[in-house]
Each structure stands twice: as C-alpha cells, then as structure tokens.
Chain A
Amino acid sequence: MGSVNETILIVDDHATFRRSARLLLEAEGYRVIGEAEDGRSALSEAESLEPDVVLLDVFLPDLDGFEVASELTGRGLAVVILTSSRDGADFGSLVAESGARGFIPKMQLSGAALDALVGS
C-alpha cells in the first residue's frame, strides 16, 4: 500500500457512509483527519486541515459536488476523488472538467481503488 499515511477528508451528507468509509480506509492505511457533511464545510475543513486527498460525494445538500471539486483543485488545496452511489456514466465529462482526479462508485470504494487514482 503506497498510500500509507496519506491524509484524507471525507465529505458526504450520509453519516453511515462517512463512518464505514473511515473504518475501511483507516484499516487500509489512510489517515482520516476530518469529515464534512456539506460543500461549504468541506471547503473550510480542507483549508484548515490541509488533507492530501478529499473524497467528495457528488450530491451535497448545499453546493454541487463538481463546483466544490473545481474550487478545491483550482486553489490547489488537495487531490479530489469524486464518489457517488449513482453510476459514473451519469456524469460524463463533468468529472474530468471539475479537475477531480477520478471517480469511484461508492460500492467499489477501497484503499486499493483510491491508491490507483491518487498514485497516478
């Protein structure tokens, strides 16, 4: 696992997802340094915590996930990986256009999947 000790911020409005993602990723060597439940707090948390990676849900209650992604990458705050329980095909070119490194369907989330995108 090449990602040992990479810090990560998990952004999702579902608490169960944040909890299970944290357990999974921590078991696989990531350091989860924060959680956020909407777009605005994601931006402020990213600013203050300076994570290496932001795992960002596409659908957030306040802002659009793609907008948050461009904001984060535009300011060089972190590597952004988008995630959703929906089909990645639904988003077409939006993922690339947002500046995010890639997209992982929630069901397929794992340290290895994350490594594959973050390491690239």
Chain B
Amino acid sequence: MPEPGADILVVASREPVALEVWVPLEEAGHRVRTVADGLAAITELKRQLPDVVVAEWEAPGLDGRGLCEAVRGDPELRDTHVIVMTSSARAERAAEALEAGADDYLATPFEQTELLARVRAGRRTSQLRASEARLRALMANVPGAIYRCAPDREWTMELISDEIERISGHPPADFIDSAVRTFASIIHPDDRERVENAVFEACKARRPFVLEYRIQHADGDARWVLERGQLVHGTNGRTWLDGAIFDISARREAEEERRRREAEQARVAELRASRARIIEAADAARRRIERDLHDGAQQRFVAVALQLRHLLSRLQKTAPDAALLLEDALDELQRATDELRELARGIHPALLTERGLVRAVEALISRLPMAAKLHEAPKERLPQPVETALYYVIAESLTNACKHADASAVTVDIGCAQGRAWAVVADDGVGDARMTEGSGLGGLSDRVEALDGRLTVQSPPGRGTTVRAEVACD
C-alpha cells in the first residue's frame, strides 16, 4: 500500500541541489516546499511544520548547524525531523551535524533511492514523535496518574504522570526508580497487604485488576484512590504493570456521608419505633387497668347498689328510719362509683377504644363547661395509636382552653389524608400559651413524635391559641 505523501521542507541555496532533491521527492508523491537559506527555513517551519526537513549543511545566512540548534532550542519546532546533506568528501561533517542536533544525514552525492528511504524513515520517526507527544498530552490531561512500574513489592516506577503530585503531594520524580520513596511507602499501612495480594493474584490469573485503597498524602491525610492496571510484557522478557490511579476521596466521602446519614436515619427511626412501642405498651396496660376497674370494682358497686335499692324498697314500708340511712348509703355509693368512673376514664377513655376517636371527642365536648364544636371528622376509624395520640392532644387542648384561655368558643377539626392524620384545636382566647416541658401539652409531644409527627402551638398574645398535632397514619 503506498503511503500518503509527506510534507517536506528542502533548504538548499543552490538551484541544482534543490532540483536534485525536489524532483524525486515530488515524483514519489510528497509535497515539497523549498527555501534558499536557514533563516527562511525557520520562518517557513513556524508557518507550518513539515514532517521532514532536508537541509544543506553549508548554506548562507543560517547554516545547517545554526538551523539544527535553532530547531532543537524551540519547544514548538523541537520534534521536527531534520536530515542534513553533507559532502561525502568531508566525513567529519556527519558527526558535527549529529552533534548539532540533526536526526540523520545524507552524504552527497546520493542515490535517489537512498534519499527516498531516508525521508520515509524520517517521516515515520516524526509520526512516532507526534503520537508520543499526543500520548504525553493525554497522560498530562487524564484526571489520574498513569504509570508503568515493576511488578515488585515496592512498585518501582518506570514512569508516572504528574497527576500523582496532586493525588499524593509528592512529585513524580520521587517515585521514578524509587529515587526518594517507593510507591509502596505511601500506601496506607492497613491496605498495603491487600493491594499486594490483589495485584499479584490478578497478575497470576492474567486478569486486569481494579482496587480501591488509601494512600497517605504528604499533608498527613489519607486519600482514597481507585487503581486499574494489568501486567504487560515488554521487550527483552521484562514485565511491567501498566495502569492508572484516580483520586476518589470525594466520592468516598460522599458515600461515607450517605452511609452515616442512613445509619442516623435508621437510628432515629428505630428510636421512634421503640418509643412508639413503649407508648403502645403503656396504653395497653392502661386499657387493661380501665377494663379491670370497669369489669371488677365498678360492676360490684353496681350490683351492691341494685341490691341496696331492692332492700330500700322493702324497708320503706317496714322501717322508714333504716330506709333513710340506706338512701344516704346509696348516695355515698353513687359518688364513689362516679369517682371510680372518672378515675377509670382518666386512665383510659374506654369510649375511644370501643367507639372511636370522633365519638370520644364528642363525649369530651358534651362534658365541657364551654361552647365547643367538632367541625370536620373522618368517618372511618384510624389506627389505635393514632386515635389515642390525637385524643390526648384534643383532650388536653380542650382542658387548657377552659382553664387558661378565657375564650368564647373553641373548635376541633380532625382529618386524615395521604398517610397523615391530624387534629386541630383552636380557641379565640387570650393566647400566649407556652409549651412547657413536662406539663400538659409538652408531655404530649413525645407521644406525637413517636408517630413520626409534630405538635405545634400557635398562640399570639390576644389572638387565640391553635394547637395542631399531625402524625403518620397508614
């Protein structure tokens, strides 16, 4: 396959020489520019870099030596492939030319085939240089440290890109041939063995490896890195590890932060659940005590009252004096039963369990010594812990409205939608209520929070008080 033509700059002061070079190159398909002296050559090089320069050693203005030195001294031109033509009569020129920085020389006179061969070789070199330059640029721009190192326990570096300085705080030169420090020495001591094992195992299995480990930055902090690499076979039987190291500290930190947050959330949820369980257990105990009072003592009192009343109807005819005494006893028993009933209700409102929140709140309102109204209320029953929490909030708020608010009216709203249930008690009284720790309302926030809820009190002075409890309800 014929190679596509190369860009060639010919520097020749004498017409015949120029022709001698120019013609065969053009015929071979190359694009040739010609200049007469070294200075013009520099200008032309700067205008557009050719693949190969073919220059006379002896030239007016800037000669071959000057041209070579100028090219090698300019970072932009440095990689240009320069072939110098020297007279075969003066063999020492060749050495001089190479010394001055030429890549190659052609002894004049030369065969066309030799010219073409030298140019072709020169062009390959310059292509190689260009791709090497690209590789270097790539290495410098990849956001990771690219390395080649020996598969030994020190990870002796053959090369490592500049990024390692940003990652580790140490310049790359420190690691080359382990001049200042070994790469192994900056791996976190707790991770060293793991890294070694993982890499050697992957090498043995002829697999690439990917691992994450910590390195110790020069500033003393640990950094997390991700390393990918694999064993490669180089020339003369040597093996290398080629790979790249990326700083993933930010990602790791974000992950750790997320884990911490999740753990914290789980802890909060567990705490809340355990609070809810404790409250549930206490409520269950209260329900049981209320039941026992109701089914036990209270029923006995009722039975006794009925029996006494039975006795009374007889005594009224036969022994009116005794009957009067018995009537007093019945009154006393009535009061005792009322007290017991209030006590039982205080322990747990049985109506709440048996007939639900709305009914229980209606009963509360009917006993209230002030005007109160239940506006909105859900038709369906809510889960028991939800009903209980909302009931206690409403009961306490209604009691407070009577005790402290000097209000003319109080309203209650109960609602439930989209996994939340709430109760709002609002009065038009004096306001300025404070939720104090340990007292009535303050004590209820625990109960509300245990259901992933919030208890809020809005009570601007002179503008009434609104207590709102909202809890999760599913």
Give A residues with C-beta under 8 Å from B: 14, 16-17, 19-21, 23-24, 27-28, 59, 85-87, 89-92, 94, 106-111
Contact = CB atoms under 8 A, between A and B. Distances in A.
Contact of B313 (A14, A27, A86, A94): A27
Interface of B: 294-295, 298-303, 305-307, 309-310, 313-314, 333-334, 337, 341, 350-351, 354, 359, 362-363, 366-367
Contact of A87 (B307, B314, B341, B354): B341
B305 A107 contact: yes
The dominant DSSP class at the B interface is: helix
B366 A23 contact: no
- Closest 8 CB pairs between A and B? A20-B306, A16-B303, A90-B363, A24-B310, A106-B302, A20-B303, A89-B366, A24-B306
B366 A92 contact: yes
A17 B366 contact: no
Interface majority SS (helix, strand, loop, mixed), chain A = helix
Contacts of B306: 17, 20-21, 23-24, 106, 109
Contact of B314 (A16, A17, A27): A27
A108 B305 CA distance: 8
B301 A107 contact: yes
A20 B333 CA distance: 16
B323 to A, nearest CB: 14
Given A14-B299, A20-B303, A92 B363 contact: yes
A17 B310 contact: no
A87 B294 CA distance: 12
Contact of B310 (A27, A87, A90, A94): A27
Nearest to A28: B313
B188 to A, nearest CB: 70
Contacts of B366: 89, 92
Contacts of B351: 86, 90
Nearest to A106: B302
Nearest to B302: A106
